[in-house]
């Protein structure tokens, strides 16, 4: 396993930041950023392939059709659930004449759980 990856955004080397400047004298270039794979977190994350969120989203935007074609979705998926509604008595604060009064009200709590 290599110890680094190059950022996969094809336009990474066109972004004008000091961190991309390489070379000397009149031979300077903007270079694609190198990503050091120094931690378990980075090796298991999308940022093993993209130097930052901006490069990740530029890549996603540029290749959105190809990405969608990797796993086409032609119909929605469904997950069976149970929906439980319970009435709960609570209080809200109401200001009147510079005093806070507790006013009772009934709310409906909706709980969703997997079947």
Using the rule CB under 5 A, is 55 a contact of Zn ion? yes
- Residue carrying the six token digits 């319970």: 86
**Least distance CB 38 / Zn ion (angstroms):** 17
12 is a contact residue toward Zn ion (CB under 5 A): yes
In whole angstroms, how close is the CB of 79 to Zn ion at the nearest point?
Answer: 36
Name the helix (H) or strand (E) containing 43. helix 40-43
In the list 5, 35, 51, 58, the residue contacting Zn ion (rule: CB under 5 A) is 51
Q: Which of 7, 35, 47, 58 binds Zn ion (CB under 5 A)?
A: 7
- Residue 35 in contact with Zn ion, rule: CB under 5 A: no
Read out DSSP for 49-95? T-SSHHHHHHHHHHTHHHHHHHS---S-----EEEEEEEEEEEEEEE
């Amino acid at each position: 396993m290599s110890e680094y990856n190059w950022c996969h955004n094809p336009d990474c080397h066109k972004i004008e930041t000091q961190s991309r400047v390489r070379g000397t004298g009149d031979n300077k270039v903007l270079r694609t950023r190198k990503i050091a794979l120094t931690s378990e977190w980075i090796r298991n994350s999308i940022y093993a392939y993209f130097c930052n969120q901006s490069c990740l989203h530029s890549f996603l935007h540029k290749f959105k059709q190809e990405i969608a074609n990797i796993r086409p979705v032609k119909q929605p998926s469904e997950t069976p659930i149970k929906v439980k509604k319970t009435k709960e008595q609570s209080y809200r604060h109401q200001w009147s004449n510079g005093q806070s009064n507790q006013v009772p009200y009934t709310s409906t709590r909706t709980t969703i759980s997997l079947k």
